[in-house]
Amino acid sequence: MPVSVLADTSTHWTEYGKGPTAVLVHCSLGSAGTWLPLVRALPGRRLVAFDLPGHGQSGPVDTVRGAHSQACDILRELCAKQPSGRVDLIGHSFGATVALRLAIEAPELVRSLVLVEPVLFALARETRREVFAQYLKNRADEDAAFASEDAEAAARAFHAKWGGPRPWDDLGVDTRRYITSRIDMIKEAKPVLEDDAHGLLENGGAARVQSPTLLVSGTESPPVIEAIMDGLAQQIPIAERMLLVGAGHMSPLTHARTLGPAIGRFLATAGVRLEFQPPYGSIR
């Protein structure tokens, strides 16, 4: 994995394949390697994946900028360096909110956008208050663990809701240690994701996105995700929905063989369509 200094951050990244460039932005507590199942299922593209600050082998989070702004700065530089010009962005969870932010702030860099369950909870709070209230209620155990400074309990509670089908105790020791050592990033991201500290919803919100966008969610994900996706579908001018039946929040890992080809079809047509006819529907 090469390393570059991007946005004043030592950034580890890797690339796979040949063809038009897509840049991948992973979820919180993951790494560039989280994308490997999707990479295998998405041929015919040059895929560039990097470790977010504080993750994998990249440098630490800049406490002045904060993780979200630092990640967006890295993504901006990485996209600007690509030889293909405008790139396709694929983001998951926290990484999808970073990709969305770049598409809003620097549309000249983004050819198309794939957002897999972006955790922009502030949008649910704005449009579906009852769903947002239930989301807060459901994470009470996580909040209690943070309040008592019990990192492992917080990691266990967070993983149970967002970490995929494998129970916490079935994860390897190194994986549990990796997640636990970074769990404070989840707490530190709440002002950005829940209070919209960086203004993604201001001045028209996601309506400022100029790129064709694919919005991906799973039928087994928490209801707050569907509220977020509904809000984005209403705001983004050229948006298409895809529902993965049986998938939860970690669909790039669990449903890559379905998700990869669907993303490939979307990318193949994104540059030539001004208006989308729904070709995807409910994917099984």
Looking at the domain assignment, is residue 164 inside a domain? no
Residue 67's nearest CA partner among 80, 52, 56, 79 is 52
Q: Give start and end residues of each alpha helix (H) in the chain.
A: 36-40, 67-80, 94-105, 121-127, 129-138, 140-147, 151-162, 173-182, 184-188, 190-195, 223-235, 251-254, 256-270
Distance CA 69, CA 64 (A): 10
Looking at the domain assignment, is residue 63 inside a domain? yes
Looking at the domain assignment, is residue 133 inside a domain? no
Query: How do residues 201-214 score in pLDDT, each as one tens digit?
Result: 999 889 999 999 99
Distance CA 251, CA 271 (A): 25
CATH of the domain at 197: 3.40.50.1820
List of residues 6+ apart from 62 with CB closer than 8 A: 8, 9, 53, 70
Interhelix angle 94-105/67-80, rounded to 10 degrees, is 60
Looking at the domain assignment, is residue 54 inside a domain? yes
| pLDDT confidence of residue 272 | 58
Residue 262's alpha-carbon distances to 28, 40, 98, in angstroms, are: 24, 13, 22
Distance CA 158, CA 219 (A): 19
Q: Which residues of the chain have a pLDDT value below 50? A: 273-284
| pLDDT confidence of residue 284 | 35
Give the neighbor-by-neighbor strand order of the sheet with 239-244. 3-6, 9-16, 46-50, 21-25, 87-92, 110-116, 213-218, 239-244, 282-283
* Number of domains forming the structure of the chain: 1
Domain extent, residue 222, equals 3-128+190-283
Looking at the domain assignment, is residue 179 inside a domain? no
Distance CA 219, CA 217 (A): 7
Looking at the domain assignment, is residue 40 inside a domain? yes
Looking at the domain assignment, is residue 196 inside a domain? yes
| pLDDT confidence of residue 271 | 65
Looking at the domain assignment, is residue 202 inside a domain? yes
